[in-house]
Chains A and B, each alone.
Chain A
Amino acid sequence: MSMVYVLIPLALMLLAFAVWALIWAIRSGQFDDLESHAWSVVLDDDQKPPGEEPEEEEKEE
């Protein structure tokens, strides 16, 4: 049973990390829009780099 003295503190460290990660994600706005990202899976399929207006044309990649 002495294993719990190692495992539980480890779990607590994981917990602390999870809380930090969650708060970071919420702060950076990842949970602000919960609807449109679900669609990006189907929508992004045939997307080419957008054709910008000539004066702004700058090939990236």
Chain B
Amino acid sequence: MHSRLQTTAMESSDNACFHCGEPIPAGVTLSISRGGEEKPVCCAGCQAVADLIFSSGLGRYYQFRQELGRKAEEDLQYDITAWQGCDDRESLWGAELADGKRELLLQTEGIRCAACAWLIRSHMEHREGVRSVQVDTATGYTRIVWDPESNRLSQLAASLMELGYKPHLPLASAEEQGRQTEKRDSMKRLGVAGLGMMQVMMYAVGLYAGDAFGIAVAERSFLEWVSLLVTLPVLLYSGRIFFEGAWRSIRAGRPGMDVPVALAISLAFLASCFNFFRGQGEVWFDSVVMFIFFLSLGRHIEMILRHRNLQAGAALARLLPEWAERLTADGQETIPASDLQHGDRVLVRVGEAFPADGIIRLGDTEVDEALLTGESRSIARTAGDEVIAGTINLTQPIEIEVKASGQETTVSSLGRLLLLAQSRRPSSSFLPVWLVPAFIVAVLLIAGGTWLAWQYIDPQRGFAAMLSVLVASCPCALSLALPVVHAAASRRLLDDGILLTRGESLQALNHVNTVVFDKTGTLTRGVPEIVKVELNPDRPGLNEARILHIAAALEFSSAHPIAHAFQAAVKDSTKNVKPVLVVKDVLVHPARGLEARINGTSWKIGKAAFASPTNQGVNDDAIWLADSEDWIARFVLQDALRDGAEETVRDLQEDGLQTAILSGDSADAVSTVAEKLDIDNWHARQTPQMKLERLEALREEGHSVLMIGDGVNDAPVLASADVSMTVKGGAELANSTADLILTDDSLSLVAKARLTARRAQLLIRQNLSWAVLYNASVMPLAVSGMLKPWMAALGMSLSSLLVVANAARLVSERRPEIGDKTT
């Protein structure tokens, strides 16, 4: 049967992990057997996940998934232990249901397609005490109804982690709960209006047929009576939001689109009731319900599109770690980082981010502050020095005393300041603020005028004509023209791996003529790579591959970013598997280097002054390798360019855009990158303040600027640019001020964003022209009474749907691939 089903092309190639698709590191020979075939995997974590999936009879996941799995953590025990610490916290169990069960909402990383949702459901629903499991693939939330008496929170989290997904602490679920309520309410309103509409339309057919062929008075009034009976609940239930919206906008002093809508449905309903009880004249119950239904439908679609973009914003990498290891009198415990108090002692392991602002009490280490300063080199910190939450501990486990945590950390308060600055940014909204109220007032005047005029011509038809004007003029299509395109564009961008946080920025993106890049982490990957190996001419006998191998083995024990550079270099330069070198007696000297023994030989690797006795005076950024006699090799490290950086910059320049670099890094580092990318306009050693001034100077010269950055230090400049974009791995703070967030490593997404912006611009023009044309042409018909209210309602609704459908083309249309996504 599955021959007819389109199985996705996710079969892994020979050197990619079967589960997550990442390249398999040199020397790793793990695999899993699947139907007699051996499939390679990249790590023990992925192996465990794949094994579990197959042994549970869920192997079909691999056949039907549309995206590759998330790379599994190799060691789950640490995370599971952390979750176990939270088992007793009732506040984390989720909302309590009437029967004592709990409804838990876990934001879960790694859910990518329907197959993931099925996998999680199938795996978890048989667990003890689990009543039901729902997975929302769009938002990445897993909803578990469970019984706290027969299972534990950590068990639930563990069963998600076993599958390779990563649940986050259920802290910010209130917002998601609100979204779900909104969605359910909207569906209920739509359903009630739809069912009601079908009924009332049916009776209306009877009434119209009666008009044509004759109908008994009793039957006629019976049909009208049931119409009223069905319309009333629809009006009160589904139509309520329009009355509420209208009332809110009037009270705020700025009448909105809801005012004529509310006026039209209430007038039409009251007049119909009046005619019905009076026993003569027309009734318009069918128009009322139809109007409500189509308006609800438009709102519902808009809401779905809106929710789709909000979701992923919540899933973005968190700047502060979720967990912290607090030292207590009798050992240590893992607690949520937000629970840390002033004065707590916290152990921070190597490679972890600091969970709070604090002062080092024990230990020396190096700290990666690139997130805050843009500086690509690490900084030495010792006891008594301050460390800032979110920066990363590189070389030694240390103990800090908490000074500020959670909302009080430097990073969080900086974030709040920025959000404030951002709210002051002039809105680039398309329509002027005064236009909508003016329009509404004009419509009300025309409607009143129409009624007055008809009093002199034919008082009988005056009311119907006035209703038609109110309904026909409803600028629904006009008001939807922009938001629906924005919503569709953000959906489209999301598929491409770009999050759009501010719809209006799409239009601004079309007018950009200058692109300013940050360097570290934006144009470059933010992690160093070995670009040159220099051998000591006086020490022959060792070839480059062998030396790299030794250096990599030495650095293996360190979490320093430089260590990764050596691992990567070994992978590139040696294809054949080497014997594993056993490294002993490792001694780390923070900020200087490390020494260790391999097969009895002692080695030193690090700064010149540390490693090489003959180069004491040299102070360069290179890494030196030496044995007990003298130096053997010198490695020059550099931050490598991000994928697609060169093409992206070239494309932008070919399109006539100016390019510039503003970086906090040293002039040497910046000039190398600028040269490679052929960017003439670059500035090094820029503080956030200086970046901001330069950008504002550019804008004053009349440039419209797209700023692309990633770090916390870029956040202010991002907030003040015309359009801002952050790259994958950007700080949450930077992301929060960005209009567009790239979620893929390659910079080629910039081109995709620009293409979508151009398409969106075109669709907006089409939509606006149609809406204006429709409203302008239908108004005279309504005033002259040629348009019956039901026709006006139908025409208006169809016009709105047309606008929505036109925008939806952006989501579904195919287009030539630009710069293939690398998997």
Q: Which residues of A contact B (CB under 8 A)?
A: 1, 4-5, 8, 11-12, 15, 18-19, 22-23, 26-27, 29, 31-33, 35-36, 38-40, 42-52, 56, 58, 60
Contact = CB atoms under 8 A, between A and B. Distances in A.
A50 B123 contact: yes
B512 to A, nearest CB: 35
B421 interface: no
Contact of A50 (B126, B137, B195, B230): B126
A43 to B, nearest CB: 5
B80 to A, nearest CB: 13
B337 to A, nearest CB: 30
14 contacts: A5-B222, A8-B226, A15-B195, A22-B192, A23-B191, A26-B184, A27-B184, A33-B135, A35-B138, A39-B115, A39-B117, A42-B60, A43-B61, A50-B122
Contact of B58 (A1, A23, A29, A47): A47
B137 A33 contact: yes
B60 A43 contact: yes
B44 interface: no
Contact of B57 (A38, A47, A58): A47
A32 B136 contact: yes
Contact of A35 (B61, B137, B216, B226): B137
Contact of A36 (B114, B187, B188): B114
A56 B56 contact: no
B196 to A, nearest CB: 8
Interface in B55-82: 55-61, 64
Contact of B2 (A4, A29, A42): A42
A43 B126 contact: no
B57 A36 contact: no
Contacts of A51: 55-57
B276 to A, nearest CB: 16
Nearest to B192: A19
Given A15-B199, A58-B128, 6 more contacts: A32-B136, A35-B138, A36-B117, A36-B135, A42-B5, A47-B122
Interface in B128-155: 128, 134-138, 143
Given A26-B187, A27-B184, A39-B114, A50 B64 contact: no
A9 to B, nearest CB: 8
A19 B115 contact: no
Contacts of A44: 118, 122
A21 B3 CA distance: 37
Contacts of B57: 46-51
A33 B114 CA distance: 10
Given A1-B216, A23-B191, A26-B184, A11 B199 contact: yes
B219 interface: yes
A29 B195 contact: no
B199 A35 contact: no
Contacts of B226: 8, 12
Nearest to B234: A19
Contacts of A1: 216, 219
A18 to B, nearest CB: 6
B438 interface: no
Contacts of A48: 56-57
Interface string B184-216: 100110011001100100010000000000001
Given A36-B135, A51-B57, A52-B126, A22 B2 contact: no
A55 B118 CA distance: 24
Contacts of B216: 1
A-B pairs with the 3 shortest C-beta distances?
Answer: A36-B117, A48-B57, A36-B114
Contacts of B805: none
A26 B114 contact: no
Contacts of A29: 134, 143
Contacts of B171: none
Contacts of B58: 47, 50
A52 B138 CA distance: 28
A38 B114 contact: yes
A31 B195 CA distance: 17
B114 A60 contact: no
Contact of A46 (B59, B134, B219): B59
